[in-house]
């Protein structure tokens, strides 16, 4: 096991997975954490009770990289990005998601710092090329939106430059959990449905617009954020893990109906599920099935038991959403 000694950098540290990662670091006794993020009032709540040393604006970070004044870190977790799958400004995405990642990666390699960054399962597109994390098949992937393309572009760049074998790109599947409130429309269905069920007593799901999937039987690999944190930290704490891309998921595809029933059960409500047409703008970019092949992750020695979907939804709702408790407050 590697020791997470020294100072750690977490970009996007006030966001969803980033703040949960700081919680995970704190639980391991790591408090020398530099957080890089744009902290809005909504995001500030995610940092309640968490211990970190410094908070910097992402633009300050980019200036420090350009002038080689970033300091010294034992590990960099680069989770900061625009994660909106409906963002249409490609130039903005390329600068934010590709450009910043490229510059920070180059700095990390030049300073012998372990670099762990967030790629995305969205890079797999419609899944016709499979969803295994085999680096040799990277060029075959066809992302369905600008966000996914910006993530895929850095994966390709890192491979072409020979960086990918020295860094860790984590392809998060459908992560959900506390600390999502700031995400608005990009919140997980767990968060959105929690609000809808409590206010209306029902929840809505998109109808299927493909004959091979019944309504509500579209499937996702749902991953609880607490598992995502443990998996992410595994790459910082474990020696001799080969560099490259790694799927982070449960390895099980569950339906939206499974998720809906777990939500109603956690809230002690009788299920009331309505189906609505999917907006036309989403239909060509919608993933009907995602499931992580986690073989490569398991080969690194990761064998911690995962939360089941029902357990995770129950924990998220009963211990976080209903009482309004953030991770650092428990």
Residue identified by tokens 């998109």 is 206
pLDDT tens digits, 27-84 = 999 999 999 999 999 899 999 999 999 999 999 999 999 999 999 999 999 999 888 8
Q: Is 183 a catalytic residue?
A: yes
The pLDDT tens digits of the residues spanning 282-312 come to: 888 888 999 999 999 999 999 999 999 999 9
Catalytic residue among 147, 168, 172, 246: 147
- Note whether 117 and 101 are within 8 A (CB): yes
Q: By C-alpha distance, which of 15, 12, 13 is closest to 180?
A: 15
Res 274: pLDDT: 97
pLDDT of residue 1: 53
Give the pLDDT confidence score for residue 5 in this predicted structure.
80
Residues 49/53/56/60 CA torsion (nearest 10 deg): -170
User: Exposed, middle or buried, 69 (CB in 10 Å: 0-12/13-18/19+)?
Assistant: exposed
Neighbours of 243 (CB within 10 A): 17
183, 192, 207, 325: the catalytic one is: 183
In the annotation, is 92 catalytic? Answer: no
Cα Rg for the chain, rounded, in angstroms?
A: 19
10-residue mean pLDDT series, the chain (330 residues): 81 98 97 96 95 96 93 95 87 92 97 96 88 91 92 96 97 97 93 96 96 96 98 95 97 98 98 96 87 96 97 98 94
In this prediction, residue 284 carries a pLDDT of: 82
């Amino acid at each position: 096991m590697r020791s997470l000694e020294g100072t750690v950098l977490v970009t996007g540290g006030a966001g969803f997975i980033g703040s949960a990662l700081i919680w995970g670091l704190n639980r391991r006794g790591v408090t020398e954490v530099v957080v890089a993020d744009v902290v809005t009032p909504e995001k500030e709540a995610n940092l309640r009770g968490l211990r970190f040393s410094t908070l910097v604006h992402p633009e300050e970070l980019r200036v420090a990289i350009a002038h080689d004044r970033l300091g010294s870190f034992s590990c960099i977790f680069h989770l900061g990005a625009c994660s909106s799958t409906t963002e249409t400004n490609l130039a903005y995405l390329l600068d934010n998601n590709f450009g910043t990642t490229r510059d920070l990666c180059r700095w990390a390699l030049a300073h012998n710092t372990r670099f762990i960054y967030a790629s995305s399962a969205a890079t797999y597109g419609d899944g016709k090329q499979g969803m295994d994390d085999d680096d040799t098949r990277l060029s075959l992937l066809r992302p369905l939106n600008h966000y996914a393309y910006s993530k895929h572009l850095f994966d390709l760049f890192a491979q072409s430059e020979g960086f990918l074998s020295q860094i860790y790109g984590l392809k998060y599947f459908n992560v959900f959990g506390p600390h999502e409130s700031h995400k608005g429309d990009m919140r997980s269905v767990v968060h959105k449905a929690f609000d809808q069920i409590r206010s209306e007593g029902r929840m809505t799901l998109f109808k299927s617009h493909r004959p091979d999937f019944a309504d509500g039987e579209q499937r996702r690999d749902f991953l609880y954020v607490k598992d995502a944190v443990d998996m992410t930290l595994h790459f910082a704490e474990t020696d001799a893990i080969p560099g490259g891309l790694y799927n982070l998921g449960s390895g099980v595809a569950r339906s939206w109906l499974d998720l809906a029933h777990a939500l109603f059960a956690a809230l002690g409500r009788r299920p009331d599920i309505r189906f609505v047409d999917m907006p036309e703008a989403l239909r060509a970019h919608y993933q009907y099935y995602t499931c992580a092949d986690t073989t490569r992750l398991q080969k690194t020695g990761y064998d911690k038991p995962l939360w089941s979907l029902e357990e995770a939804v129950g924990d998220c709702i009963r211990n976080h959403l209903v009482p309004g408790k953030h991770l650092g407050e428990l």
